[in-house]
Structure 1
């Protein structure tokens, strides 16, 4: 597990790892990554009949440990039926509050993955939002962790990786969420050797 208070050299290496992965993107991978959050935004808007905040909130609340295709299915079912189902109690409780009219910002952990996932879907142009999942972590540290604990439930550890993505994005002249999405596609393609358009964020941290 990486140290929360990494030294300057280590942080710079994380930034370089992110940039190097970005530079490895093919034209198709870059296109897929750039379109991921705008596509998710359109999906959230359509799913919740124009209420993007509710759609994005449901997607985020029901995303942990869930394949993206199933995430969409669960969120759609929850909106249409008014009753979230087929997930853990904590996630179902958050989704139920969002359906009842509570602002997702008051329900989701806004300093962690699901909060940033919500923000990135709600507004793909958000210049601060950055969803750090297991693959985003591994890209930064330059190592595939597999089943090992990445410790991203720690606010400090999450903030460290998020900072590195924001620094990499600033150097590249891109949004942090765009850098995260494009590098995600590159990393996942390298792991499985296939296209990831339908499976991005396959599982949560």
Structure 2
């Protein structure tokens, strides 16, 4: 697990790793990564009958430890059935509260992955929000952790990596969520 209080050398190394993964992305991977949150935004609006914030909140609430396709299936089913299912109790409770009208920011942990996932889906052009999931972590540290704990529930560790993605985004000339999405696509499709 990486240290919460990284040295400037470590921060620079993490930022460089993110930029290096960006440079390995094919033109098609860059296109799909840049469009990822916009596509998710449209899907959120579709499943929630035009209430993009509600759709984004339910998607985020049901995202933990699920593939994107499974996440979409569960969120679509939740809106169709009028209640969430198929996930752990905490995720289901959060999704149901959001569907009942509670604002996602009152339900989701806004300082870590699910809250940031909501922000990026709700506003694909958000200039600050960045999702640090296991893939984003592994890209930055240049190591596949597999099932090992990354400690991303710790706000300090999460923010350290989010800051590195923001620094990489400034150097690349993109917003952080697009850098995260492009590098995610390149990472999961690596050979």
Bin the TM-score by the shorter chain: over 0.9
Structure 1 CA distance for aligned equivalents of residues 9 and 67 of structure 2: 35
Question: Number of matched residues?
Answer: 191
Q: Tell me how far apart the structure 2 counterparts of residues 38 and 50 of structure 1 sit (CA, whole Å).
A: 14
CA distance in 1, matches of 2:118, 2:4: 24
- The aligned counterpart of 1:35 is 35
TM-score by length of 1: 0.92
- Give the secondary-structure state (helix, strand or coil) at the position aligned to 1:59: helix
Give the equivalent residue in structure 2 for 1:63. Answer: 63
User: Bigger shift: 78-87 or 55-64?
Assistant: 78-87
Shift of 1:175: 0.4
Task: Report deviation, 1:177.
Answer: 0.2
Cα displacement (A) at 1:110? 0.3
1:126-179 superposed Cα distances (whole Å, 9 cap, x missing partner): 001100000000001111111111000111100000000000001111000000
* CA distance in structure 2 between the partners assigned to 1:153 and 1:54 by the alignment: 24
Which residue number in structure 1 is paired with residue 13 of structure 2? 13
Deviation at 1:123, TM superposition (A): 0.3
Residue 77 of structure 1 and its aligned partner are, at CA, apart by 1.1
Q: Distance in 2 between matches of 1:14 and 1:85?
A: 37
Query: How much has 1:103 moved relative to structure 2?
Result: 0.2
- Residue 67 of structure 1 and its aligned partner are, at CA, apart by 1.6
Measured in 2, the distance between the counterparts of 1:67 and 1:189 equals 14
Name the counterpart of 1:100.
100
Structure 1 residue runs without a partner (length 5+): 194-205
TM-superposed CA distance for 1:81, in Å, is 1.6
Unaligned 5+ runs, structure 2: none
Question: Residue 24 of structure 1 aligns with which residue?
Answer: 24
Give me the whole-angstrom Cα distance separating, in 2, the residues matched to 1:67 and 1:145. Answer: 17
1:54 aligns with 2:54: yes
Equivalent runs, 1:1-205 vs 2, <5 Å? 1-190=1-190, 193=191
Please provide the CA RMSD for this pair. 0.7
